[in-house]
Amino acid sequence: ATLFRSAMADAGQQSLDLCEAEQSELARRYVMTSELYVEEPWSHAGPRSVSPFAPCAASRLPHVFDAARLTGDSVLWDLGCGDGRILHEAAARYGCRCVGVEIDASCLDMCKEGASRLGADVDDRCSWFLRDMTSMPSGSLGTDDSLGPDVPAPSVLLLFITGHGLKA
């Protein structure tokens, strides 16, 4: 039993290592080599952003979903949803409601286009909002109609930030 657990742990670590390598490559491609418009306050890399946009690695999605324990009854919010790929996949795979909040209008356009491309099942389960999450009232997620009266409260909340977003 110990040998089996050790082999499973090694396999899990290899999987996480592959995720990290893929995510690092995406970050390098999208963040390190792209032109960042830091003067534009509503850019994904502007002064109001808590994290520059880099897509979530496809190999990381199963780990995210395992941790989230999503079901068809879940309401998944992604604060800083980028291109929406996590929410698209969650809506398609689990049939849950998804709410994306994004500061960058161009990223939000990608969210909407992607959901539409995936069909009505995904598109109808996803809602998208252009908001600065740092200006949302503390403790307001899903409780004060800040996104509208028909937006359900989250049962699962995703937020990825980087050191860029942790500056004092």
Residues 27-44 pLDDT 10s: 665 555 555 445 555 555
Domain count, the chain: 1
CATH number where 11 lies: 3.40.50
Does 139 map to a domain?
A: yes
3-state helix, strand, coil in the chain (%, to 5): 45, 10, 40
Does 168 map to a domain?
A: no
Does 131 map to a domain?
A: yes
Q: Which domain holds residue 135?
A: 2-163
Residue with tokens 């324990």: 69
Look up the pTM and report it.
0.73
For residue range 100-149, list pLDDT tens digits in order.
Answer: 998 888 889 999 999 999 999 999 999 999 988 777 777 666 665 667 77
